[in-house]
Amino acid sequence: MLIIGAKGFAKELFEVILQNGPPNSIAFYDDVSEEAPSSLFRGYQVLRNAEAAADYLHDTDQSFALAVGNPQTRQALFAKFVDLGGKPVTIISPFAKIGKIDNEIGDGCNILTNAVIESGNSIGKGCLIHVGALVSHDVVVGDFCEISPHANLLGGVQIGECCSIGTAAVILPRITVGNNCVVGAGAVVTKNIPDNTVVVGNPARPLSK
C-alpha cells in the first residue's frame, strides 16, 4: 500500500493500518516537504515524485490511502493517484464502531480509533472520520470531508462536499451544511449553513471578513 503523506497524520493512519495486522507492503509518498526523510519508522521508503509512485503502484501494490487532512488536498491527491493507476482503499480501525444497518462508506475513507458511525448513514469517498467522532443516524456526508476528533453529527444532518468540521463541534439534528464549509472547533451549529461559509461559536455564526 502507498500512504499518501509522510508527516503527522501519516503516523496516525499507519497506526490504524497496524491495528488491522502487519501489511504486506508499505511505502509513503511526499513530494512537498523538503525535510521529509528518505524512510520512516522501520525503514519504509518515502517516494518523492510521481514517476516513483507510478512505478510502485504498477509493480508492487495498486492500493493507496490518503494521509492528509485538508479536504481540498484530499480531493486533489485522490484524483492524482487514481490517474497514476492507483486504487483507493478505505482504512477502518478495528476499534471504531460501525453500525450494521444501512451504512454506506465510500472508497478511500479513513475511519480512526473510537469513531462511531451508527445506522442509516452515507459517507462519501475520500472522507476522514477522526478519533472519537460521532456520526449518528440518517446522516449524509459528502465526498472528501474532514470530521475532526470528537465532532458530533446528529440525526438527519447533511454535510456537503469538501467540508471541515472542527474538533468537538456539534451539528444539531436535520441541519444542512453546504459545500466547502468550515465549522470551527467547539462550534454548535443550530441553523443551515450555505456553501463556502466559515462558522464559529455557540451558537455558530459566520466568521466576519
Q: Say if strands 44-47 and 39-40 run parallel, antiparallel, or are unpaired.
A: antiparallel
Handedness of CA 183, 167, 119, 111 (dihedral sign): positive
Which helix (H) or strand (E) element contains residue 146? strand 146-147
Radius of gyration, CA atoms only, the chain: 17
Q: How far is CA 172 from CA 145, 151, 175, 184, 193, in A?
A: 18, 11, 6, 14, 12
From 58, 130, 137, 150, active-site residue: 137
Q: Which residue type does 76 have?
A: A
For the chain, the residue count is 209
Active site residue 58: no
So which residues are the catalytic ones? 137
